[in-house]
Amino acid sequence: MLMKNFEHFDKLLDTTGLFCPEPVMMLHSTFKDIKAGEVVKVLATDPSTTRDIPKFCLFLGHELVERLEDGNQYQYLIRKGG
């Protein structure tokens, strides 16, 4: 079941089928192309993203708005920091 927040985002990044470190590398590249305050929805299947994406946000000053695990799929909403 999707949470309501997952319907509101500015950009979708689908990393389904990719493994560490590709999802975070793609996320880093995506964040270079968006403005502060915009929200990226990330789709992933690599369980290491449950560790790597929160650390990405913490170290780079972005906000992990919400995350959802549904079976083997992981979804994240991340707001770019200023």
The string of DSSP codes covering 8-47 is --SEEEE-TT--TTHHHHHHHHHHHTS-TT-EEEEEE--T
Given 6, 9, 20, 54, which residue is catalytic? Answer: 20
Closest by CA position to 56, among listed 17, 1, 15: 15
1 pLDDT above the threshold of 60: no
Question: Can you give the residue ranges of every domain in the chain?
Answer: 22-38+46-82
- Read off the pTM: 0.91
20 flagged as catalytic: yes
CATH code assigned to 22-38+46-82? 3.30.110.40
The pLDDT assigned to 36 comes to 97
